Amino acid sequence: LHDQFESEYELDTTTLDGKHIQLLLNAGLEVSTELTNAHFCDGVGLYRTEAWFMQKSRFPTQSEQETWYREVLTSYHPSPVIMRTLDIGGDKVLSYFDVDEENPFLGWRGIRFSLDHPELFLEQLKAMLKANAGLGNLKILLPMVTNVNEVEEVKRLLQQAYFELEDEWADQFYQIERPELGVMLEVPSSIFLLPEWAKKVDFCSVGSNDLTQYLLAVDRTNSQVAELFDSYHPAVLRALHQIATSCNEYELPFSLCGELAADPEGAILLVAMGYKSLSMNPSSINKVKWVLRRLKIADMKILLNMCLQQSSAIEVHRMIRNFIISHG
């Protein structure tokens, strides 16, 4: 079956009724292996910069970061690379930065950490901007955003980064382009701020792993409650549907980069909701592509409407399985 998925890796991800779906890569560790694994993808939908920070024994310098980001951006150029700023905290810890919290997932995570350490954050932003000079395929994504003022503060720091680079780079500064800026939708509050995001950012990306965790109040790393962690829970599906509807209404480009997109069953529902861009781990791309190429959006929408009316994840899974069987 694996070979069967592989056989179409070079083909476009277009549904039977002709809709193109962008399939992007979740990456963060080793560009070369990720590239070979992924075969054909439309770019990188989530570059987890923290993966590399976690392998180090100290905070990387700005120039180390620049070299590393440049390698990523050139490898995928001209396809877009969405780089997420440092997302530590929760389950992601740095051996060289001790944090002791009672509730790490509700604590000092993602953008909260970066904004409390503007000196480190500025280094990262400047490294990204320099790495993007003359290339222009970088987009910057902010993790764990819950408040509008966080984005405003990031914009202020980005502006500061430009000013500092203008001084430092003088002659070459003209090459520095302004990347698009986006927020992750992974905390329930961010869904209700979509009208604000539409005015303040260029795009958004749903993190279905954390969104599931926070909507259902289930620690994503706790095996005791692992069965309760289910992105097919009707509340999660309805939230994802609402995001797609609102983003379309506000004309805010959106995609999804959590594990749900890597599961063909999830990808079917997401495409039916209106997600035209899905980002996933390299090993799932061919499988998701293979399935989407065999279905019509109209049929997926019928399935979605039935799923949205179910009251449990078990019923949703059953519906999708029946659908897949009846569509061969």
Which residues would be at the binding site for Mg ion (CB under 5 A)? 186, 207, 210
Binding mask 237-266 for ligand PEP (x = CB under 6 A): --------------------xx--------
Using CB under 6 A as the binding rule, whether residue 48 contacts ligand PEP is answered as yes
Instruction: Tell me how far apart the alpha carbons of residues 23 and 15 are, in angstroms, rounded to a whole number.
Output: 12
Residue type, 39: H
Q: How many residues bind to ligand PEP according to rule CB under 6 A?
A: 10
Min dist CB 135 to ligand PEP, Å, is 24
Min dist CB 50 to ligand PEP, Å, is 8
When CB distances are held under 5 to 8 angstroms depending on the partner's kind, the choice from Mg ion, ligand PEP, none that residue 277 binds is none
C-beta closer to ligand PEP: residue 31 or 236: 236
The bridge status of strand 180-185 relative to strand 44-48 is unpaired
- CA-wise closest residue to 320 among 214, 221, 231, 198: 231
C-beta closer to ligand PEP: residue 121 or 214: 214
Residue 82: CB partners within 8 Å, gap ≥ 6? 24, 43, 44, 45, 46, 47, 139, 140, 141, 182, 205, 257, 279
Min dist CB 48 to Mg ion, Å, is 9
Tell me phi and psi for residue 154, to 5 degrees: -60, -40
When CB distances are held under 5 to 8 angstroms depending on the partner's kind, the choice from ligand PEP, Mg ion, none that residue 34 binds is none
Residues 265-324 that bind ligand PEP (CB under 6 A): none
When CB distances are held under 5 to 8 angstroms depending on the partner's kind, the choice from ligand PEP, Mg ion, none that residue 109 binds is none
Using CB under 6 A as the binding rule, whether residue 207 contacts ligand PEP is answered as yes
Q: Do residues 141 and 82 make contact, with C-beta atoms less than 8 angstroms apart?
A: yes
CA atoms within 13 A on the CB side of 63: 0
Strands in 152-202 per DSSP E: 180-185
Q: Residues in the site for ligand PEP, rule: CB under 6 A?
A: 46, 48, 87, 186, 207-210, 257-258
